[in-house]
Amino acid sequence: MSTSRIDRRFVACAAEGRAALVTFVSAGDPDYDTSLAILEALPGAGADVIELGMPFSDPMAEGPPIQRSSQRALRAGQTMAKTLAMVRAFRAGDRDTPIVLMGYYNPIYSYGNEAFLADAAAAGVDGLIVVDLPPEADDELCIPAAKHGLNFIRLATPTTDDRRLPAVLANTSGFIYYVSILGITGTASPDTSKVAAAVARIKKHTTLPVAVGFGVKTAEQASAIGRTADGVVVGSALVNAIAASLDGDGRATASTVGAVTGLVGELARGARLARVAAAE
C-alpha cells in the first residue's frame, strides 16, 4: 500500500525521536462551531494525529466522560453528514494532520457503507476505528475501506493473545491501537510496565506503529507511555476539559477551546519529554 498521511506522520515523529500525540474529541461537542474551532487549534497545540469521534447513542466501550461528550454532541444536532463536513472544513486549512474517525458501526451502516467510505475519503479522512467491528467482520467495512485508500486501525487489548494477534493485525493499516486496560475508556490508569511489555509483544508481530490509549490523563502518564509506544492516545481527559469549561446550561464559553489546547500542550510536552528522559 502507498504511504498514507498517517504513515508519514508516524515516520516524522519517529525521526524527531518522540512518540506521536493522538488526541480524541467527539465531533460536535459541545456544538458544531466550537468543535470545529477545537479541531483547527489541535495541531498548533501539539496534536500529531486527530481522532474524531462519530457520536453514537450507545457507545458500549466508553466510560462516562466520552458517553457524556457523545450525548452533548447529539443534543447539539450532530449527524454523520455534519461530522464529514467538519473534516472537509478542517482539511481545507490543514493538508498534513491525519484524521481518524472513531466510533461504532451503526451510524456508518445507517449512512450506507459505500457512501460513507466514498464521502469520508473525499472529505479528507485518513483512517477509521470502529470499535464493534472485530477482524471476524472484516468483509463489512475494513476490506472495502482499503479500496478507498482509508486505513483501518484495529484495537488490540490485553485479551488479544499471541494466537489471535495475527488475525487482528492481518488487515490493519496506519497504526495499531493498544488498549492498555481491561475496561472502558477514561477509567483505570494503565500500569506502564505492563504496557511496555505488551507493546514489545505486539511489535514482534508487526512493523506498524503502536499507539497506546485508554486511561491516559496526564503529561506524566503520556511521558511514561511514550518511552516505549510510538503514540499516546488521550481522549477522556480532553472531553472532561470541554465539560469543565461549559456554562451552567452546557454551552461553550470563551475558555472552551483554550481548555482543550492548554491540556494538549501539556500532554505534547510530556510525549516529547519521554524519549529525552529515556535517553538520560
Partner 1 sequence: MTAAAPNTFRAGPDERGFFGLFGGRFVAETLMPLILDLERAYEDAKKDPAFKAELEHLNTHYTGRPSPLYYAERLTEHLRKDAPAGKGAKVYFKRDELNHTGSHKINNCLGQILLARRMGKTRIIAETGAGQHGVATATVAARFGLPCEIYMGATDVERQAPNVFRMKLLGAELHPVTAGNGTLKDAMNEALRDWVTNVENTYYLIGTAAGPHPYPELVRDFQSVIGREAKEQMLAAEGRLPDTLVACIGGGSNAIGLFHPFLDDKDVAIVGVEAGGHGLDVENGHAASMNGGRPGVLHGNRTYLLQDDDGQILEGHSISAGLDYPGVGPEHSWLRDTGRVEYVPATDREALDAFQLLTRVEGIIPALEPAHALAEVVKRAPRMDRDRIILMNLCGRGDKDVFSVARHLGVSI
Binding residues vs partner 1 (CB under 8 A):
56-61, 63, 67, 74, 79-80, 104-111, 131-134, 136-137, 154-161, 164, 168, 179, 182-184, 187
Shortest spacing between CB 277 and partner 1, in angstroms: 30
DSSP state of 171: T
Nearer to partner 1, 182 or 244 (CB): 182
Which is closer to partner 1, CB of 26 or CB of 67? 67
**In the bound complex, what is the minimum distance in angstroms from residue 62's beta carbon to partner 1?**
8
**Do residues 252 and 77 make contact, with C-beta atoms less than 8 angstroms apart?**
no
Q: Which is nearer to partner 1, 41 or 85 (CB)?
A: 85
Residue entry with cell 447513542: 57
Least distance in Å: CB of 198 to partner 1?
13
Please state the closest distance from residue 87 (CB atom) to partner 1, in A.
16
- Provide, rounded to whole angstroms, the least separation between the CB of residue 54 and partner 1: 9
Choice between 211 and 271, CB closer to partner 1: 211
Tell me how far apart the alpha carbons of residues 39 and 273 are, in angstroms, rounded to a whole number. Answer: 24
- State how far the Cα of 184 lies from the Cα of 14, in Å rounded to an integer: 29
Residues shown for the chain: 280
Rank residues 179 and 264 by Cβ distance to partner 1 and give the closer one.
179
β strands within the chain, DSSP E: 20-26, 49-53, 99-103, 127-130, 151-152, 154-156, 176-179, 210-213, 231-234
Whole-angstrom distance, CA of residue 166 vs CA of residue 168: 5
Residue 191, helix vs strand vs coil: coil
Residue owning grid cell 505534547: 268
Residue in this structure with the C-alpha cell 493538508, named with its chain if needed: 95
Q: Between residues 48 and 119, which has the closer beta carbon with respect to partner 1?
A: 119
> How far apart are CB 224 and partner 1 at their closest, in Å?
22
